[in-house]
Structure 1
Amino acid sequence: MKVGLLRAVGVATAVYGVAVAALPDLLARPSGLVDGQGRTAPATRTSLRPLAWRDAASGLAMALAPDGPALRTAAYVRIAADFGDAVLLGVTLPGRDRRLKAVAVSVGWGALSVAGLLARGRRGSGIMGAVEAGPLRVRR
């Protein structure tokens, strides 16, 4: 398991989730969930915010879960959410191009988490490993 990759996916997901919760247009506009003038309806903003908080919570779990079963479980939740998004958005968004882009993005993020789970990695390697090691730990 590549802990650093999973943590990076978690941080990116959490940040994106918080951003969309605050500004649902970040997801509504590229998804085509706006009116002819590019405005997001209040009901659409309300509907997108729980999705955004799900992303923030699952991303935070991946970023902070202890290495081992807890991190694997957080990654499985994230993967299920990403692949679920691919299926649901792929059949419901307006416009073929938007559906294809949403599927590509969702599958891409899910695939990063799958890769993080399947990869053999030395714990503490890479940038995230240096962060985890901290300033008082000497790496050989």
Structure 2
Amino acid sequence: MKVGLLRAVGVATAVYGAAVAAVPDLLARPSGLADEEGRTGRATRTSLRPLAWRDAVSGLAMAMAPDGPALRTAAYVRIAADFGDAVLLGATLPGRDRKLAAAVVSVGWGALSVAGLLAGGRREVRHPRAAGPLRG
């Protein structure tokens, strides 16, 4: 597991989520959810804020969770959210280009977390007959 990569994804996600929660237009406009004049409707802003808070909190969890099972769990939550976004936004946003862009961006962020989980690092391996940990 590459803790540094997971923490970086977490911080970036938390910052973006907090920014979108404060200014939903940051997500609404590129997603095609604003009107022709670039205004985002009240209902759309209201709907995007919980999504943004989910990103902020899950990113914060990745940034702050202790290394080990807690960080792994936070990463799994983030991956599920990103891949879920890819499916849902990729199927429902207006316009083919926006659907594709949302799916690619979401899968990309999820893939970074997957890479962070799968990347090798030095782990302690205890041999059944060894008195202490072996480095693997």
Normalised to the residue count of structure 1, the TM-score between the two structures is 0.86
Structure 1 residue 28 displacement after superposition: 0.1
Give the partner amino acid of 1:114: V
Runs of 4+ in 1 over 2 A off after TM superposition: none
* 1:21 aligned partner: 21
Instruction: Name which one, 1 or 2, has greater alpha-carbon Rg.
Output: 2
* 2:7 aligned partner: 7
User: Secondary structure at 2:29's aligned position in 1?
Assistant: helix
Q: Do structure 1's residue 82 and structure 2's residue 82 form an aligned pair? A: yes
Give the partner amino acid of 2:111: A
Superposed CA RMSD in Å reads 0.9
**Distance in 2 separating the partners of 1:86 and 1:122:** 32
**Distance in 2 separating the partners of 1:78 and 1:115:** 13
Give the partner amino acid of 1:73: T
**Distance in 2 separating the partners of 1:66 and 1:91:** 35
**How many residues align structurally?**
123
Q: Of Structure 1 and Structure 2, which has the larger fraction of its residues in helix?
A: 1
User: Is the 8 Å Cα contact of residues 2 and 122 (structure 1) preserved in structure 2?
Assistant: no
Structure 1 residue 122 displacement after superposition: 4.4
**Distance in 2 separating the partners of 1:10 and 1:85:** 16
* 1:135 aligned partner: none
Cα deviation, 1:38-80, whole Å, max 9, x if unaligned, reads 1000000000000000000000000000000000000000000
Unaligned runs of 5+ in 1: 124-140
User: Is the 8 Å Cα contact of residues 86 and 104 (structure 1) preserved in structure 2?
Assistant: yes
Q: Which has the higher contact order (CA 8 A, sep 6+)?
A: 1
* 2:119 aligned partner: 119
Unaligned runs of 5+ in 2: 124-136
Q: Percent identity?
A: 88
